[in-house]
């Protein structure tokens, strides 16, 4: 396994446990060709698949029809202006106005392990579990040196790609498109799979047939975006959770992105992933380099579920750095929906006192503790304690909470500034704005220009001082609007097209500083819910708030979509009050707890005011969390049914790696008259093991549970929105 170069055939073979990826260096001009990605192979001699010399697919490079060749040969990293009229991964603009760029093999390096990417979130591994190929290419007319980077994570069936572009020539030029990965292949009756959404409706699954033309998703608002997840997959039309081929690409980045699949003549398919070219224009002076973020490639022959489990293992073991990644997170209670802006120290302590009695382990103080922040129209940027609400500052409050045996956490929105704030009065030019236009306010706030070091340093200093003032063990980092009115007072005109990427790099620098200064901090990222739920953010914090819609029934589809890509332990999920503040729906407290258990688990309510019958369930829910969280956090995740498809019920399960324990969740959303009981066939168990099922006296074999199933019947209660969770153990 790993990476092998076969000199006689000029072939690079990249192997994971269950997949093979083949690259070929073609002809005298040393074109870099994509040959194969799919089922694990022993052979590397698949060059015949390119059908070179067979009209009308392609012609030999030196034959009469060079254009035909350039248009059709399968490229590993397509470039602009030289006869390939499909989606390109790299384009430039030279001083003479031309945009053509080529790619010819020069040399390569293969080594165990993987290098870090400076300033960018990235996958990591050891010499035991990752091998890296640096495929160094050149474009002689421009002097560009283009290195295609491949890291093979054998243990998780993942290949990570990125591109390093160096100006080794003598003239300045602009990168106008610099994507991270591309792949050419033939259509095989494929569908396209993406995730779309909106505020409070994140990560909805979209699947449609691949047809001729261009299909894809993109974010241009400065965030990875709630509108689309930075992910795209093609999968065989008959693929489901358990069978069929799936090819996925996911992006370790939190800003503007592009993910496209296009099909052209002869059903040739190209898949690309990278930074969106929208307003992207990067000046590359002689000697300078540009590093693209990393794209995650995954191939599964076990359907969507196989892709899911590969991605979960990969993110847990090779992207999330936090010490909490394989640990239980403290069960927290957040005061936002309990109090909104109307609170003081005594109110927060009263919540903490009642929460501590129920076994809740952390109090998180949300928005409204700083400056003159009594509503959402003012105060952002003034990161100092409002002592009218919190007399004596944070330390007296935190000490009172700690004395109850609870940890303390706090909310920040460091990237924002309100026009009504001391910071804006002192530094109005720190907000992103265009000098000759009225800026667009959103939620009564502007975005700070963090690309300016003095701005980022000043804001970070305020955050640092607050965190140093008391024993704060958790931070929720929020970001509640898009970027527009793009311009920076300190960037020269020729570099203004670099702003979006520079902004994202500045955010990463701030979060890196935060974790360096506070290495034990539990960081949860958030952006109006899940508008920055992406692999890049997981590099800094092990969990992300999934959605501001915490309604348990709405969360079924949100958590289904996110769970398709991300470990369940990364999905911020809370039990909130009813009627729900977003939907007005009333859902049983037991169901709310069960649904939130498939995530980080916590509470978002005023525990001092909820019905006694609900409050009485909390100790049992907390106890349950401690009993089963290891299964959810580190187990293999299987989808059993989708409410988003059947409109009746939802079911999923997690299984420990040793297959000794499983946790099965069933939610009956809509109850109907005269319907037969639901039989759910389990997955991922050992057919030969004997298991006990919680609440039953008899035992089952894994074979019986997987092929016979479990019956969920109406004895769980009449009505809608009922849920059941079953703990299954090896006998």
Active-site amino acid positions: 478, 548
- The answer to whether the CB of 428 falls within 8 A of the CB of 491 is no
Phi and psi angles of residue 727, each rounded to the nearest 5 degrees, phi first: -95, 125
CA distance 705 to 79: 52
- The answer to whether the CB of 182 falls within 8 A of the CB of 176 is no
Q: Provide the b/e sequence for 289-317 (b: ≥16 CB within 10 Å).
A: ebbbbbbbbbbbbbbbbbbbbbbbbbbbb
Distance set, CA 694 to CA 159, 437, 663, 684 (Å): 40, 64, 10, 18
Backbone angle region of 450, left / alpha / beta, with phi > 0 → left and psi within -120 to 50 → alpha:
alpha
Cα 83 → chain centroid: 35
- Return the residue matching tokens 């909106």: 198
Residue 582: other Cβ atoms inside 10 A: 17
- The answer to whether the CB of 377 falls within 8 A of the CB of 444 is yes
Q: Helices 453-468 & 499-517, crossing angle to 10 degrees?
A: 30
CA distance 72 to 65: 11
Token code pair at residue 308:
């899911």
Question: How buried is 660 (Cβ within 10 angstroms: 0-12 exposed, 13-18 middle, 19+ buried)?
Answer: middle
Partnered with residue 134 across adjacent β-strands are 109, 149
Sign for the CA dihedral angle at 695, 701, 706, 707 comes to negative
Q: What are the DSSP E strand ranges found in 388-538?
A: 407-412, 416-417, 446-447, 474-477, 522-525
Q: What is the DSSP letter of 431?
A: B
Q: What is the DSSP letter of 266?
A: G
CA distance 296 to 194: 15
Instruction: List the one residue out of 474, 475, 469, 477 whose CA is nearest residue 397.
Output: 469
Alpha helices in 386-498 (DSSP H): 394-403, 422-426, 453-468
Instruction: List the one residue out of 403, 410, 357 whose CA is nearest residue 386.
Output: 410
Partnered with residue 512 across adjacent β-strands are none
* CB within 8 Å of 42: residues ≥ 6 apart: none
Token code pair at residue 374:
């009594």
Partnered with residue 209 across adjacent β-strands are 191
Q: Helix (H, G, I), strand (E, B), or coil: what is residue 712?
A: strand
- The answer to whether the CB of 371 falls within 8 A of the CB of 386 is yes
**DSSP string for 576-633:** E-SS-TTT-----HHHHHHHHTTSS-EEES-TTTS-HHHHTTHHHHHHHHHHHHHHHH
Instruction: List the one residue out of 725, 711, 567 whose CA is nearest residue 637.
Output: 567
Please tell me the number of Cα atoms within 13 Å of 262 on its side-chain side. Answer: 16
Residue 361: other Cβ atoms inside 10 A: 19
CA distance 370 to 155: 46
CA distance 24 to 14: 12
């Amino acid at each position: 396994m790993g990476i092998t170069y076969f000199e006689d055939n000029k072939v690079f073979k990249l192997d994971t446990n269950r997949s093979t990826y083949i690259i070929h260096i073609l002809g005298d001009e040393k074109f870099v060709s994509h040959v194969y990605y799919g089922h694990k192979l022993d052979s590397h001699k698949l060059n015949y698949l390119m059908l070179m010399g067979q009209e009308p697919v392609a012609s030999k490079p030196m034959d009469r029809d060079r254009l035909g060749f350039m248009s059709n040969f399968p490229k590993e990293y397509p470039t602009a202006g030289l006869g390939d009229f499909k989606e390109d991964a790299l384009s430039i603009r030279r001083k003479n106005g031309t945009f053509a760029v080529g790619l010819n093999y020069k040399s390569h390096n293969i080594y165990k392990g993987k290098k870090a990417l400076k300033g960018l979130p990235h996958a990591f591994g050891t010499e035991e579990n990752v091998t890296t190929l640096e495929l160094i290419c050149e474009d002689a007319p421009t002097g560009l040196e283009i290195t295609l980077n491949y890291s093979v994570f054998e243990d998780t069936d993942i290949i990570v790609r990125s591109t390093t572009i160096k100006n080794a020539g003598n003239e300045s030029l602009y990168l106008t498109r610099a994507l991270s990965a591309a792949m050419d292949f033939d259509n095989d009756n494929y569908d396209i799979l993406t995730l779309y959404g909106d505020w409070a409706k994140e990560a909805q699954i979209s699947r449609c047939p691949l047809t001729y033309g261009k299909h894809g998703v993109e974010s241009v608002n400065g965030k990875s975006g709630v509108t689309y997840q930075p992910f795209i997959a093609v999968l065989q039309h008959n693929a489901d959770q358990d069978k069929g081929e799936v090819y996925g690409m996911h992006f370790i980045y939190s800003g503007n992105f592009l993910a496209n699949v296009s099909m052209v003549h002869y059903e040739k398919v190209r898949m690309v992933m990278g930074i969106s070219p929208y307003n992207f224009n990067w000046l590359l002076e002689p000697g300078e380099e540009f590093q693209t973020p990393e794209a995650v490639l995954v191939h599964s022959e076990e359907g969507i579920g196989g892709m899911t489990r590969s991605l979960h293992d990969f993110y847990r073991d090779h992207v999330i750095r936090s010490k909490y990644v394989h640990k239980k997170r403290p069960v927290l209670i957040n005061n936002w929906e309990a109090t909104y802006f109307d609170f003081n120290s005594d109110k927060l302590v009263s919540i903490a006192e009642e929460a501590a009695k129920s076994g809740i382990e952390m109090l998180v103080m949300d928005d409204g503790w700083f400056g003159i922040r009594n509503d959402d129209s003012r105060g952002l940027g003034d990161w100092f304690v409002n002592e009218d609400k919190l007399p004596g500052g944070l330390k007296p409050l935190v000490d009172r909470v700690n004395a109850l045996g609870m940890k303390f956490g706090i909310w920040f929105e460091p990237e924002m500034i309100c026009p009504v704030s001391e910071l804006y009065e002192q530094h109005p030019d720190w907000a992103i704005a265009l000098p000759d236009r009225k800026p667009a306010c959103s939620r009564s706030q502007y975005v700070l220009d963090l690309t300016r070091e003095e701005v980022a340093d000043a804001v970070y200093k305020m955050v640092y001082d607050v965190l140093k003032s008391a024993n704060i063990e958790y931070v929720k980092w929020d970001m509640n609007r898009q970027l527009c009115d793009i311009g920076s007072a300190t960037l020269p005109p020729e570099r203004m097209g670099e702003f979006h990427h520079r902004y994202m790099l500045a955010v990463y620098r701030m979060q890196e500083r935060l974790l360096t200064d506070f290495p034990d901090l539990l960081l949860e990222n958030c952006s109006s819910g899940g508008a920055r739920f992406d692999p890049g953010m997981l590099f800094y914090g092990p969990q992300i708030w999934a959605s501001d819609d915490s309604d348990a029934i709405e969360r079924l589809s949100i958590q289904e979509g996110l769970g398709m890509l991300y470990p369940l332990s990364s999905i911020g999920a809370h039990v909130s009050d009813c009627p729900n503040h977003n939907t007005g729906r009333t859902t049983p407290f037991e169901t709310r707890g069960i649904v939130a258990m498939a995530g980080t688990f916590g509470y978002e309510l005023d525990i001092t005011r909820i019905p006694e019958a609900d409050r009485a369930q909390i100790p049992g829910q907390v106890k349950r969390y401690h009993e089963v969280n290891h299964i959810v956090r580190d187990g293999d995740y299987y989808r059993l049914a989708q409410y988003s498809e059947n409109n009746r019920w939802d079911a999923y399960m997690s299984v420990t790696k040793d297959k000794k324990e499983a946790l099965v969740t069933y939610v009956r959303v809509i109850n109907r008259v005269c319907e037969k009981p639901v039989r759910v066939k389990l997955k991922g168990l050992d057919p030969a093991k004997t298991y006990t099922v919680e609440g039953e006296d008899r035992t089952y074999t894994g074979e019986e549970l997987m092929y016979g199933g479990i019956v969920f019947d109406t004895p769980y209660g009449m009505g809608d929105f009922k849920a059941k969770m079953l703990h299954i153990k090896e006998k």
